[in-house]
Structure 1
């Protein structure tokens, strides 16, 4: 490694090892770190910090931190710090098994929050003082501006608010990222806010670089390491059936005149079903599409490269090793078609509503009336978090939630009488899709929604149980607007915990 990526002389003089930089972070403080879905997170300092924490614990000294990020990171950050007991509080999203286990064991406090609200919570002072910003960048310009990495997340906010800054300059990130970002500095606190001047997903309304007072930068650490590179399994038959139902529904909306032939900006979650939907759009002849989303994953990158999606706005890349190679090889093309923004913009309610996004997100379970649980098993154990699904579900043109109708080899029904945890209320859910079919819940009363969900989304093994529950609730429920038998509404989950199956 050389200093060529650190073109600011004073900052080049602040280069130091990860161990030296980690020593600048004091116990009990709050650290805002980069990272969003395994992209652009600091690779070296968190691991050095974990070693410092382990040594402090060995001396009998308490050492734990409040860790704030953009979203999930990787084992080198969340896993390393959780394993040594170095995290006392975490937000806003996570996916690391070690961290999740400790959260669910009650050892770490975890705040699940809409990703679009994190930055303003920090600016409002709701999250307390930000002591340190630990941010990965691709380079430092001669004037001190920073070339962002493969995710932007909340980096702008952490850099603005932190008392001190530690930068990791990652030589593995392609310098072709320069110019792909759009960092908007026009946000303000109430009552001084003004409309955000973005009317198309490809609009550039900010600057290509992050800014920070060079005097706040206390350390620059050079690294050469890849992002966490995961592979998604190819879409299976269940995913393809879900995608088929959703694509046919979109065609119906075009025939009804509610959508144009090029749809509206797409937002999709991460995973096999999202990839299947995107590839189904391509195979179905859709073109001239746009995306206003959080994460660009393999399926979307493929469509961008082929020109099916003309413009995509996001806050991060989440790519397999093969797609990283494609991205680096054709980075000049992707730089023209991709805009990476802070997540306070990529997930901003004002923009999601103005653009009219079509939101497609996964879920754990839905109930008869359209309430959705995206985050918890049996109501008590967190999986990952709500992420940005709520930002798009409440504010988009169309809110779609997708899932296989069963899990655990059929032992769990994804359609239940009452969800065990509510992330998205019935008021924010327009469409539910499983491999069994699609329930369009728009314009329906609760009882009408229940009949659609049972008929079109429930697995045949569970459809009679659901129908029986609903018919008895119609007769026995004290109120008939949203009928329930309260003594049975969560009995399906308890039955699973007791017997290993929701079946009677």
Structure 2
């Protein structure tokens, strides 16, 4: 049965190949999609074929590709593989896309997720030519039921000259009512976002689309890219235990209520280990104000530990995605999916007192964090929403194993090779070795706590030697550094394959 209840929209149904011809060289295209959910499933590959054919003829054909966050191989990967992307923003994780960025074939603007939609609305990127957005269904009145992510979709639908919709029958029709579509305005017109609790609903269940700008509708039945989580290893469990012990102490000290404060967690195995630990731990009636719904949150809703989770997208394993599709009517009572300009909004994060927990590539001895670049130059994925939450959180935490590359890389270094989060915003650093609470500490005090509690024993002595040398070179300055050797470990790794001396 068709998911298109509107005659007006049914008249615009066409194939992905026909719709792809509506996109031209140089177009700025806003795609739906966030962490592998809710992205268009067939239009990108059809567009990639058009781009390849143009290149084979000797014609130029590239587009600027804007999304909510990362997508999937049949989206980012397909377009990047044919050198079809001139500019990418705001976040990506596809290996082909990453290689094109680091090779200089595609430009990349790594931007805070909460800034990306407003920047498009404000015209920083020029006119948006096309929006390509997946929806679960189109209602008789022309409104649309969002699918498994919202991201920047509302902004793209509101601002694009031309709209292409993919109506995906794989998405559960019972997602209807889970979403809360609330759009911000231009500076000078905005009012305070009226969210005072994680579960507050302030907008519409649907996208209200200007049908006159809809150029094509494509019908699909294809699942999201749902990647399984790796089995939890002891390292991830230990990091999670360290965080949970810290939260328990915050409650004991009276700095947090017994049901904690709204939690935010980044994507990945360690984040999911934290959720598993929360599900097994003593805390009850929890809430979450975050970016993505992961397996652990679904488990916590099932167990009754998590009352409500606010996010902008799902990031689920195949098993959890199937559970969500089968039981969306139940989960929509506990989950709110919002635009990322709201889910990641600093005003709301600060008001709610969110506790943030994000991954990092490396931290230095003073608490600066690099979460985006390998050895200072090569982009990994991007800053995503980690900055939105870190700078505005009640307590901001970063987690990572203390070692990488079989011990040849230390996650704790004298000076990070790229700065994403400064010492002013980073309050807690956690590895499997322990936890460094940096609140209220001077740079020299932070160095001692980070080295003693978070660095791997294989690197502690070298870090202490660096601190002693830096103190002499800098004559006891506020933040002692020996600039001649501060990146010696990174240089050594690039030359020898190991940071070890």
Q: Give yes or no for contact 1:305–1:333 (8 Å, CA) kept in 2.
A: no
* CA distance in structure 1 between the partners assigned to 2:95 and 2:103 by the alignment: 12
| SS in structure 2 of the partner of residue 313 of structure 1 | strand
| SS in structure 2 of the partner of residue 475 of structure 1 | helix
Q: Give yes or no for contact 1:50–1:81 (8 Å, CA) kept in 2.
A: yes
Counterpart of 1:373 (choices 363, 370, 374) is: 370
Task: Provide the residue aligned with 2:138 in structure 1.
Answer: 140
CA shift, 1:479, in A, is 5.8
CA deviation digits over 1:26-57, x for unaligned, max 9?
A: 11110000000000000101100000001011
1:414 equivalenced with 2:404 (yes/no): no
Does 188-197 or 350-359 show the bigger shift?
Answer: 188-197
Counterpart of 2:47 (choices 36, 46, 49) is: 49
Q: Give yes or no for contact 2:279–2:299 (8 Å, CA) kept in 1.
A: no
TM-score, length-scaled by structure 1 = 0.99
**1:200-279 to 2 correspondences below 5 Å:** 200-279=197-276
Task: Provide the residue aligned with 1:158 in structure 2.
Answer: 156
Task: Provide the residue aligned with 1:390 in structure 2.
Answer: 387
Q: Give yes or no for contact 1:88–1:108 (8 Å, CA) kept in 2.
A: yes
Runs of 4+ in 1 over 6 A off after TM superposition: none
Task: Provide the residue aligned with 1:424 in structure 2.
Answer: 421
Counterpart of 2:79 (choices 57, 78, 81) is: 81
* CA distance in structure 1 between the partners assigned to 2:143 and 2:97 by the alignment: 33
Task: Provide the residue aligned with 2:458 in structure 1.
Answer: 461
CA deviation digits over 1:43-99, x for unaligned, max 9?
A: 101100000001011111000000000000001110000000100000000011101
CA deviation digits over 1:229-272, x for unaligned, max 9?
A: 10111211000110111111111111111011100000001111
CA shift, 1:328, in A, is 2.0
1:347 equivalenced with 2:321 (yes/no): no
Q: Give yes or no for contact 2:35–2:69 (8 Å, CA) kept in 1.
A: yes
TM-score, length-scaled by structure 2 = 0.99
Task: Provide the residue aligned with 1:117 in structure 2.
Answer: 115
1:30 equivalenced with 2:34 (yes/no): no
1:169 equivalenced with 2:156 (yes/no): no
Q: Give yes or no for contact 2:62–2:85 (8 Å, CA) kept in 1.
A: yes
Task: Provide the residue aligned with 1:482 in structure 2.
Answer: 479
CA deviation digits over 1:300-331, x for unaligned, max 9?
A: 11111211110000000011111012212222
Task: Provide the residue aligned with 1:283 in structure 2.
Answer: 280
Structure 2 vs 1, CA of residues 144 and 101 (structure 1 numbering), >3 Å: closer, same or farther? same
* CA distance in structure 2 between the partners assigned to 1:347 and 1:42 by the alignment: 23
* CA distance in structure 2 between the partners assigned to 1:327 and 1:77 by the alignment: 23
Counterpart of 1:178 (choices 176, 179, 198) is: 176
Task: Provide the residue aligned with 1:358 in structure 2.
Answer: 355
Q: Give yes or no for contact 1:68–1:90 (8 Å, CA) kept in 2.
A: yes
RMSD: 0.8
Task: Provide the residue aligned with 1:69 in structure 2.
Answer: 67
* CA distance in structure 2 between the partners assigned to 1:189 and 1:164 by the alignment: 21
| SS in structure 1 of the partner of residue 406 of structure 2 | coil
Task: Provide the residue aligned with 1:436 in structure 2.
Answer: 433
Alignment gaps of 5+ in structure 2: none
Q: How many residues align?
A: 501
CA deviation digits over 1:450-474, x for unaligned, max 9?
A: 0000000000000000000001111
Q: Give yes or no for contact 1:327–1:334 (8 Å, CA) kept in 2.
A: yes
| SS in structure 1 of the partner of residue 332 of structure 2 | helix
* CA distance in structure 2 between the partners assigned to 1:218 and 1:24 by the alignment: 8
* CA distance in structure 1 between the partners assigned to 2:253 and 2:303 by the alignment: 28
* CA distance in structure 2 between the partners assigned to 1:137 and 1:305 by the alignment: 26
CA shift, 1:478, in A, is 4.8
* CA distance in structure 1 between the partners assigned to 2:452 and 2:393 by the alignment: 26
1:404 equivalenced with 2:438 (yes/no): no
CA shift, 1:283, in A, is 1.4
| SS in structure 1 of the partner of residue 284 of structure 2 | coil
Q: Give yes or no for contact 2:25–2:60 (8 Å, CA) kept in 1.
A: yes
CA shift, 1:119, in A, is 1.1
Counterpart of 2:128 (choices 127, 130, 135) is: 130
* CA distance in structure 2 between the partners assigned to 1:192 and 1:342 by the alignment: 18
Does 206-215 or 328-337 show the bigger shift?
Answer: 328-337
| SS in structure 2 of the partner of residue 147 of structure 1 | strand
CA shift, 1:215, in A, is 0.5
* CA distance in structure 2 between the partners assigned to 1:391 and 1:478 by the alignment: 36
| SS in structure 2 of the partner of residue 290 of structure 1 | strand
Task: Provide the residue aligned with 2:7 in structure 1.
Answer: 9
| SS in structure 2 of the partner of residue 126 of structure 1 | coil
CA deviation digits over 1:196-249, x for unaligned, max 9?
A: 111001000000001111000010000110000101112110001101111111
Q: Give yes or no for contact 2:171–2:325 (8 Å, CA) kept in 1.
A: no
* CA distance in structure 2 between the partners assigned to 1:267 and 1:128 by the alignment: 33
